[in-house]
Amino acid sequence: MDLKDPKTQKLIMIVAGTAALVYFYIFADFVPFNYKVRAEEISRLKAEHTRCMNELTKAQQLVNRLPELKREFALLTQRWQVAQELLPTQKEVASLLRKVTMAGQEAGVKFLLFKPAEPTKRTDFTENPVQVSVTGGFHRAGAFFGEIADLSRLVNVSQLRLKGFDKGDLDETVQADFIATAYTLAEGTTAEGKPNEPAKQPSAAAK
């Protein structure tokens, strides 16, 4: 190869120029369009594409579950409505407690104590405990608890203590001490467990 030959020199310049371009494209960081910059951009776009696809998949899964979620919400709403029917309002507590005493009278037990305690407020309901003490036959006491369980409103019996009497009177063979708790629903509570917003008053212009 004759290095003095113009054709040879031209070929060498072309090869050197091409090598320089390849070097700058692959290794030079300051060139905004080189291989490294392009590779990083492609990697970033692939990561963004993967993230978008994952979000799209999650959204599609939620859309597919929408009918199921609607059914679950309807079931929860129905259960809440049933619970509302079991829980009286605060105004109905006195009537409910009268039903408890009537249930005891119908069962044939005698009341020794019927003392309402201080109500305890919870988030969506209020506990209204009553200290109760009755005497009677064992079967009559059992019938009394059965009457309480059959009430249309929810009344919970707790802290039950039974004491037997060793005497010949069959009408009073056991004493039952317990707490009867009536649960009242918070005023204006909705199926979502949140108070209803008060109705807006009409503006003066609407009158």
Closest CA to 193 of 59, 63, 83, 70: 83
pLDDT tens profile 149-171: 888 777 888 999 988 877 666 67
What's the DSSP call for residue 29? T
Query: Confidence band (pLDDT; 50, 70, 90) for 178?
Result: very high
Structural domains of the chain, with CATH: 90-185 (3.30.70.60)
What local confidence, expressed as pLDDT, does residue 118 receive?
87
Predicted TM-score (pTM) of the model is: 0.49
What local confidence, expressed as pLDDT, does residue 133 receive?
92
CA–CA gap between residue 109 and residue 174 (Å, rounded): 10
CA–CA gap between residue 60 and residue 54 (Å, rounded): 10
pLDDT tens profile 64-106: 878 887 888 788 777 666 655 555 565 666 777 888 888 888 8
What local confidence, expressed as pLDDT, does residue 1 receive?
56
